Structure 1
Amino acid sequence: MNHQYVQFTLGHKITTEQQDFFNENGFIHFKNFIKTETIQDVIRASEQVQSEWLKINRVKVNGIPVKYGKDLDGSAIVQRFAFLNQQHPLFAELAQDPRLEVLLNLIAPGARLGTEEKDGMVLNHYVNSEESKFTQMGWHTDGLRDIFHGLKLNPMLNIGIHLNTLNPENGGLRILPGTHKQSLYNLLFRKKYFLDNHADANELAITPTAGDLTVHDGRLWHRVAQSSVTGESSRRRVIYLPIIAGKYEPKTENSPTAFYQRFAGLVK
């Protein structure tokens, strides 16, 4: 499978070329979405939320478990934040960036940013150390969630805003281009969900520069590869925000924890 890896610039509309590339491959990569100084502001804001959550030992946000781990020096860190757009004004502002609205055109009319649904704006903080509990994630599709809930499989896209520059050895997102067009059988059984971490001969490594934005279709098979380097150079942070179609289902502090989310290691 020879898929050309083209990178684009996000303007005030999705071009025909961009739409065709996305339809064919199930993902798209835009360069230079946020500036270096903005990245530093984002990291500082996440550290403020982390400090607050550690102080009060925050367990869940709107029913979504908080994933804690250890940093390189052994100190406690949050490795997965959910609904960050509700926790700090900077993330609320980022979620309202008008360029994100442009991305809604990649799927059916009526799509929206999932700021109040699923897990809201997520920040994953990976670091490869002896004590880190969050270094990789096995093959999965995001569409499985709807099936877990007995819902119709609605289109769902995942926006990723990358805060670190990654080479293949740094690990990160690996996708199987074109698998968003697979049968329901292959969506369910092509690989062993989350248990299979093996590289696939047809996988494509997403290698962003800090500040880049990617979008991938939720039905696409993907995994998060472990960094083959350790220490500070293995650190990577990425923000995810879903684009959702279908019934509006906001989460609140009273929302229950879904059955599959009790297996904390399986949550993206």
Structure 2
Amino acid sequence: MVKFEYKTFTLGDQLTKEQKAYFQKYGVIQFKNFINQETIQLFISELDKIEKSWIEQGIEKINGIPLKFGKDPKGNKMIQRMCFTNKYSTVLAEFLKDPRLKLLVELLQPYDGRISDNEKDGLVFNHYVNAENSKFTQMGWHTDSPRDLFLGQKILPMLNVGIHLDDCPSSNGGLRVLPGTQNQSVLKLLFGKKQFIDHNPDPREIGFEINAGDLTIHDGRLWHRVEVSPNFGEKSRRRVMYVPIITGKYMPKSEKSKTPFYHRFAKVVQK
């Protein structure tokens, strides 16, 4: 595995050679202050409205993808993983058209990529909170590639783009990756660790010092996990929106879409 140099960047109106080289080497990159505090609060408000509406309507799946429910520190029902949120908010739908997000497609070259607003799980909202009845506090080691095999496709490059809505220093848990493992063999990509079952820290892993408004991008072939927060209640709250940038055949989802069978086996939900 490559020796990692932790560095952050600012995303302008184009990707620089340094930024592209950094991502190609490590399979992950962090951009500071991608959205401001006003936009963060707007997004949180939109997500709260969607959550309230879905709970009131008793919705359990969107386009065949199960929602993940839990309870907040006060014991109230909450949705800890929501998908296709961009289809239920004009604000979030417009955000996916941000020209800066479209720049990230270049990180997949020589493949042609696209923002997955209508495929996979769309714009996902993960709401981690460490509380007594929380169902979503961490996520085990995994790569995103096995899903391609489950869907009968060959493994293709993809990006997971995370928009962070809360401060999350590495001391509060959060994203962990093994830098450079996007270039591993197929066998190691699939079987290097026990997918989703293994939560053990790896001496080679690195975490991130994230502020609300930051953007993280990681290659889907990279081994990554989400560490549980050592804190409880409000101090443990971590809200992150994820949208994939994908390659390959266009495969849109709709309300008639069937639930992918791997969801039946997963006790933890993939991003």
- TM-score, normalised relative to structure 1: 0.98
Q: How far apart, CA to CA, are the structure 2 residues paired with 1:55 and 1:39?
A: 24
Q: Is the 8 A contact 1:169 1:229 kept in 2?
A: no
Q: Summarize the alignment of residues 158-169 of structure 1 with structure 2, pairs less than 5 Å apart.
A: 158-169=160-171
Q: How far apart, CA to CA, are the structure 1 residues paired with 2:235 and 2:37?
A: 17
Structure 1 position 207, deviation (Å): 2.3
Deviation by residue 1:81-115 (Cα, 9 ceiling, x = unmatched): 10000011111111111110111111124210000
Equivalent residue, structure 1, for 2:74: 73
Q: 2:256 is matched with which residue: 251, 254, 257?
A: 254
Q: Summarize the alignment of residues 93-104 of structure 1 with structure 2, pairs less than 5 Å apart.
A: 93-104=94-105
What stretches of structure 1 of length at least 5 have no aligned partner? none
Q: Does 2:17 align with 1:16?
A: yes
Residue type of the partner of 2:103? V
Q: How far apart, CA to CA, are the structure 2 residues paired with 1:106 and 1:245?
A: 12
Structure 1 position 167, deviation (Å): 1.5
Q: Give the match's secondary structure for 1:69.
A: strand
Q: Give the match's secondary structure for 1:159.
A: strand
What stretches of structure 2 of length at least 5 have no aligned partner? none
Equivalent residue, structure 1, for 2:197: 195
**Percent of matched pairs sharing the same residue:** 52
Q: Give the match's secondary structure for 2:240.
A: strand
Q: How far apart, CA to CA, are the structure 2 residues paired with 1:232 and 1:224?
A: 18
Residue type of the partner of 1:72? P
Q: Summarize the alignment of residues 119-268 of structure 1 with structure 2, pairs less than 5 Å apart.
A: 119-268=121-270
Aligned pair count? Answer: 268
- TM-score, normalised relative to structure 2: 0.97
Deviation by residue 1:7-28 (Cα, 9 ceiling, x = unmatched): 0010111111001000000011
Q: Which runs of 4+ in 1 moved over 4 A?
A: none
Residue type of the partner of 1:254? K
Residue type of the partner of 2:187? Y
Equivalent residue, structure 2, for 1:50: 51
Deviation by residue 1:204-231 (Cα, 9 ceiling, x = unmatched): 1022110000110000000000001111
* Structure 1 range deviating more: 76-85 or 162-171: 162-171
Structure 1 position 264, deviation (Å): 4.9
Q: How far apart, CA to CA, are the structure 1 residues paired with 2:267 and 2:91?
A: 28
Q: How far apart, CA to CA, are the structure 2 residues paired with 1:170 and 1:57?
A: 32
Equivalent residue, structure 1, for 2:88: 87
Q: Give the match's secondary structure for 2:9.
A: coil
Q: How far apart, CA to CA, are the structure 1 residues paired with 2:83 and 2:209?
A: 24
